[in-house]
Structure 1
Amino acid sequence: MGWLLNRQQTLRPSPRNQVFCAKSPLLACLLLLALAHAMPTFATDSYRSETLSAASMAPPRAVRIGIHNFPPDFVVSKDGSSCGGTGFEYLRNLLQQAELTLEPVCVTPARMYLLLDQNDIDFSINIKSTKALVDVAHPPVFAEPPYMMLQLVVYSHSRRANSVHDGSIAMIRGFDYQGERQQLSNAGLRPVDLPDAVSAIEMFLKGRTEHLITYDGPFKAYLAAQSMPSVEPVNKLRRKTLQEIPTHVVIGAQSPFRAQLEQLLHSHAQQYRCKMLKNCGNVR
């Protein structure tokens, strides 16, 4: 009986329940008190269930694309705080067809490879042969068809130009250039690594390197958009084409959007018979 009395005191019955208990058998009174004690727990569990259900219905995070300075398709502001470009707009509109939101992440190429492997971004645009992309724990997926073709070239100052003539060649840090980096080093040229395409172009045009390896698209886009003087007229530069290289949408192996992105790109390419993904099909 002492245990029962202590149990009743712990349950703290309401005045109404106290009246009932005074007039009812002991077993009925204890049943009523037990039910009253369970009600708050039931309400809490119900609230938690509704909260978890609402969370499961919340929209997923945006798809993240890594963007480095590669005009005209992808551009990053000088302070690195914003990025976009015509390529980003095209891909954003394409993903909207699958009700996916695309979010730009402004990065340097070297950092982009790390973020892709760590699943901090979902995809980017790159060539297949970049060693920093394939020599990782989780090799990414290169979607087909290619995004676009790039023409890889070397520009050189003439011997008369007011520039250094020391065998230096400006290039993007982390870029292998389809094996051309090693070939140029073997030929005696000295690599000068810069964060991105624009930095390499500017270093060369200022005469601080004798040569520049670049993709022709970003070089011509920079010249069209900038008025920075060069130590030598651009039409006097020596130009050598090395090779044409396809770029691809490269998707992180651990991205939660991997299968969805692969299917979207494949279906879009089939529907519009795209040989190159860039600007292919009715995307608005």
Structure 2
Amino acid sequence: MRRGSISPLIIRDLKNYRCYGSTIDHSTAILEELGYQVHVECMPAARLFTLVEAGKVDVTINISTTGALENKVTIIYPPYTYLSIVLANHAEKSDGETVAAITGYDYTGLRQELVKQGYTFIDVPSSLDAINLFLHNRTSSLISYLRPYEYYLDNRVPDKSVKTHHIKRDIPTYFAISRTSKWHDELIKRFKDYSESQQISLFIEKFKQTTSKQLAPAQKNATSTN
């Protein structure tokens, strides 16, 4: 099975382009408990959306309102986890109309709101690209999901000129199954059985639990060579 990963829930190593982070560990553990061998790929959002539509990526994790995935995925309930969005500004910059962001992300409608306020978006492939663009003073503002932003800042000397505002909290994000995946129907049933048997209200809190005895033990090898 091919599992596609993009920001904001993972970190991409800019030296070797590998992805890592607790979300990869958690989601892989769940899918393996469901009986699948998982091949994780890290890619820009635009490429992920194309591969999901084609059924070449079976599973991703995303918010339910991502326009590029509308009618292309089946959302799995309950949520995987919750996200927050921040807007950061350089306090000393007079130009407040450019904002670094990820290509293809509408940030639950905030992109349109900021465009109406006069912002010009500078789109880049990943959250770390956007954060770097902002922190190197190439844009006056940054819109980002909180997790990668905090991770990046943990490894830097704080910049007192940067002002950060939480503008949306508690945004649910979900496992999303490609509607053209050959595992689509089976995945939906197995996720449903798993969440009900484990009484899951949030997948991220339950990833260590074992699957229900009703789930078939045989592994499915759906690893893609693409």
TM-score bin (small chain): 0.7 to 0.9
CA distance in 2, matches of 1:156, 1:131: 26
- RMSD, aligned CA: 2.1
Structure 2 residue 45 is matched with structure 1 residue 115: no
How much does 1:233 deviate? 2.3
Higher helix share: 1
CA distance in 1, matches of 2:19, 2:207: 24
Which of 262, 265, 270 pairs up with 2:196? 270
Q: Over alpha carbons, which structure has the higher Rg?
A: 1
How much does 1:79 deviate? 4.6
Q: Unpaired runs of 5+ in structure 1? A: 1-62
CA distance in 2, matches of 1:80, 1:132: 27
Quick one: structure 1 residues 80 and 129, their matched pair in 2 at CA, closer, same or farther if it must change by over 3 Å? farther
CA distance in 2, matches of 1:249, 1:129: 13
Query: For residues 69-111 of structure 1, what are the alpha-carbon distances to aligned partners after superposition, in whole Å with 9 as ceiling and x for unaligned?
Result: 43xx422221564223221222222222233101012210111
- Secondary structure of the 1:217 match is helix
Which of 197, 203, 210 pairs up with 2:140? 210
Amino acid at match of 1:67: S
Structure 2 residue 28 is matched with structure 1 residue 92: yes
Higher strand share: 2
Quick one: structure 1 residues 170 and 81, their matched pair in 2 at CA, closer, same or farther if it must change by over 3 Å? closer
Query: For residues 143-190 of structure 1, what are the alpha-carbon distances to aligned partners after superposition, in whole Å with 9 as ceiling and x for unaligned?
Result: 11111111122111213xxx5624111111100111111110000111
Structure 2 residue 59 is matched with structure 1 residue 133: no
Moved over 3 A (4+): 281-284
- Secondary structure of the 1:278 match is helix
Which of 157, 175, 178 pairs up with 1:252? 178
Structure 2 residue 112 is matched with structure 1 residue 186: no
- Provide the residue aligned with 2:168 in structure 1: 242
Structure 2 residue 68 is matched with structure 1 residue 142: no
CA distance in 2, matches of 1:267, 1:278: 17
Q: Unpaired runs of 5+ in structure 2? A: 211-226
- Secondary structure of the 1:262 match is helix
Fraction of identical pairs, as percent: 25
CA distance in 2, matches of 1:112, 1:101: 19
Aligned residues: 210
How much does 1:250 deviate? 0.9
CA distance in 1, matches of 2:114, 2:108: 12
- Secondary structure of the 1:178 match is helix
CA distance in 2, matches of 1:164, 1:140: 42
Structure 2 residue 92 is matched with structure 1 residue 167: no
Amino acid at match of 2:160: P
Which of 63, 68, 75 pairs up with 2:6? 68
| Contact 1:164–1:208 (Cα < 8 Å) also in 2 | no
